[in-house]
Every structure is written in C-alpha cells, then in structure tokens.
Amino acid sequence: MVVGGPADCLDLGSLREHVGDCHRCPLGDSRTTLVFGSGDPHAELMFIGEAPGRNEDLTGEPFIGAAGKLLDELLAFIGLEREQVFIANVVKCRPPGNRDPMPVEIAACTPFLARQIELVSPKVISTLGKFATQYMLDTTVGITALRGKLYRVGGRRIVPVLHPAAALYNASNRPLLFDDFTRLKAVLDRGDAGAPLVVTTGSADETVAFGERLGALLAPGDVVGLSGDLGAGKTCFAQGVARGLGIEGPVPSPTFNLLLVHRGTVPMYHFDLYRLERADQLEDIDFHGTLEADGASVVEWADRFPAEMPDDRLDVAMEVTGEADRRITIVPHGDRAIAVAEGLRRSSAGAA
Ligand code: SF4
C-alpha cells in the first residue's frame, strides 16, 4: 500500500494500488467497477475520455462497446492499434445514467489522472470530447471551438477531438471525427516541429532585429498575433517585421488608427486592437477580409479577441524580463506557420 498521495506512486501499478477501492467522491458508491485505464504504460500517444459508460462499468476496461469500436476504427485509420496507446478517463467511475461528471467528482478524481499522465509521459495527448479537453486546457471553451487544433501544455502536445460517442448520437459528426484523427496523425507524423521558439533580446534594437528575421520569412496571407503588456515591445517587434518585409518608411503604433497599411516588398497590415471593446467592432475595419488580402498582417493585442484570430497564425507573446530584456515566445499554429517558425529557428541559430 502506497502511503501519501498520487505523486508518491512511482509506477502505474502502485498508482492503481493507491486508488484502491476508491470512495473519494460519490461515484464510488454507485459504480460497479472502477475503470483505471489501460494500454502501453510508455505510450507516446494517450487518449483521455470523459467517464466510463455502462459496458466499461461492468468490465473495468475503458472504451469498449460501440464508442470503443469506433475508437478502434479511428486508430486503425491512423495506423495504430489499441495496444500502442494508453487510454484513461477524467473520472474513473461511471456517473449514474451516464450523466455528465460533476465538478466535485472531477476535482476528486483528476489527481489520479494527472499522475497517470506523468507516469506514462506521452508526447501527445488526444482529449476525447468536452470534459477531457476542458480539463487539459484549463478552459471553459466548448469542444467545437477547440477540436482538431494543436495546443501545448507542460511540454506535451494536446490535440482535442470530438468524443466518438458524438458520432453515435449524430452520424453527421462521423466525418468530423475522421477529420480530427487526420489532424492527429499529422501532429504525430510531424514530431516536435512546431515547438514554441523562445528567445530573449537585450535591447530594443535586438527586438527589432529578431522581428526583421521573422518579417523576411513572411508571405501574403501570413498572420502574426502579438500579445504582451504595455511596454513589452510589441511595436518594436512590428517595426522589425516591417523591415523584413521591405518596408522603409516609419512604422508608428497604430493605436488611434486601429489599422495602418504599409507598402513594401510584401504589404503589411498593422492592426492594434487595444481600443476595441467588442468583437463586432472588428467588422468596422474589415478585420477578417484584410487578413485574407494580399499582405502579411501583424495584430497587436491579438489576445483580446482570440476567437477572431485565424486558425493558421503565429502567436508572439512578449514579456518584460529586465529593464531592457524581453522574452519572446513564438507559437506557430498550422502547417504554414510551423514552416515559418522552423525557418526562424534556423535563421536565429545562424545569427547567434
Ligand atoms: S470517480 Fe475517481 S475519485 Fe470518485 S470514487 Fe471513482 S476513482 Fe474515486
């Protein structure tokens, strides 16, 4: 018997022993069998579902029955077998009548899941449906908005997908689920290309120079979303991007104009969303239409309206880490952005 908490369990076997005949939340009283999770204890890909259903509750195995069959089909679609992955749920006991797990139950059970993730140490986690996704991404945003995209949490790649059961309730979800798994396979195949690129600059000139290296790689249709507090250096970075795009004139902050257009080798649309209060005001400046126009776009305060940013983009987060020091973290989203970020990684290594 392991004393202490889940963190004291050094392998899945001792964690299972630690969970024991758990009654740490009310689900312990209504379940038949606790479903701990199963699969390769060192899997590179881990799936996290919501909760056991009736078949799982009877057998103690995750994802059997109709949803499990569809999961097997989806795994085969991306060239994997169940033995190659690890599967667990947000809660380990069946909620009565397959109702949603309650916050108190999720809070009681997820320390076990968190330790399972640490012990399996997958490179990629695919969250199946709303509850697993919201837990892993620490958000209340719905699965429809989050599915099929790549996120990073604690150095792991997270790919939310629809829950297989969604395709059983509504057949029109089936092709969406296969689309999600196509993207999941792309993430697996790509390896760690697209990992965040983090650099530190020691002066405004260095920030401009780094922005210039990025600007030199941009093409029409590329979108860069800048975030960071006032004084973090966003406009300096944008000035560098402009230089890299072949723009020679001054590049002032567009705070009062909301949008300034600069003509260079590639046009640059320079937005500043700081003064906007509502997303619908973006229509006044034809935000989405401009992003798709013939230039590269740099959007300051992009984090004010994250849902309005396109799926394919580079997120650039700027932080003040010293009087003149700035930490710049670049996270690419989408194949094109990943290619740009990899180019920037190479050019930055060459410049170091
Ligand atoms: S759901 Fe989790 S916390 Fe609740 S009784 Fe089952 S194992 Fe314990």
**Ligand 1: nearest atom to the Cα of 105:** 4
Model pTM score: 0.72
Residue 262 structural domain = 197-351
Domain count, the chain: 2
Distance, CA 22 to ligand 1 centroid (Å)?
A: 6
Whether 307 is covered by a domain: the verdict is yes
Rounded Cα–Cα distance for residues 109 and 121 (Å):
19
Chunked in runs of 10, what are the mean pLDDT values of the chain (352 residues)?
A: 80 96 97 97 97 96 94 97 97 96 97 97 96 96 89 90 94 95 92 86 96 97 96 94 94 86 94 93 93 94 92 95 94 90 87 59
**Ligand 1: nearest atom to the Cα of 22:** 8
- For residue 29, the number of C-alpha atoms closer than 13 Å in the C-beta half-sphere is 4
User: Would you say the CB of residue 92 lies under 6 angstroms from ligand 1?
Assistant: yes
- In terms of domains, do 247 and 111 share one? no
- In terms of domains, do 154 and 68 share one? yes
- In terms of domains, do 216 and 180 share one? no
Distance, CA 91 to ligand 1 centroid (Å)?
A: 6
pLDDT at 254: 82
Whether 347 is covered by a domain: the verdict is yes
pLDDT at 97: 94
pLDDT at 24: 96
- In terms of domains, do 160 and 202 share one? no
User: Would you say the CB of residue 24 lies under 6 angstroms from ligand 1?
Assistant: yes
- In terms of domains, do 94 and 71 share one? yes
**Ligand 1: nearest atom to the Cα of 91:** 1
- In terms of domains, do 182 and 212 share one? no
User: Would you say the CB of residue 25 lies under 6 angstroms from ligand 1?
Assistant: yes
**Ligand 1: nearest atom to the Cα of 19:** 7
- In terms of domains, do 201 and 240 share one? yes
With the most atoms of ligand 1 within 8 angstroms of its CB, the residue from 21, 23, 91, 100 to mutate is 91
Rounded Cα–Cα distance for residues 270 and 236 (Å):
12
- For residue 58, the number of C-alpha atoms closer than 13 Å in the C-beta half-sphere is 4
Whether 1 is covered by a domain: the verdict is no
User: Would you say the CB of residue 34 lies under 6 angstroms from ligand 1?
Assistant: yes
Task: Give the Cα-Cα-Cα angle 339, 341, 344 (nearest 5 degrees).
Answer: 110
- In terms of domains, do 115 and 32 share one? yes
Angle in degrees, 0-180, between the axes of helices 65-77 and 174-190, rounded to the nearest 10: 50
Q: What is the DSSP string of 77-100?
A: HTT--GGGSEEEESSSSPPGGGPP
Question: Pick from 190, 225, 253: which residue ends a domain?
Answer: 190
- In terms of domains, do 155 and 242 share one? no
- In terms of domains, do 224 and 166 share one? no
- In terms of domains, do 69 and 163 share one? yes
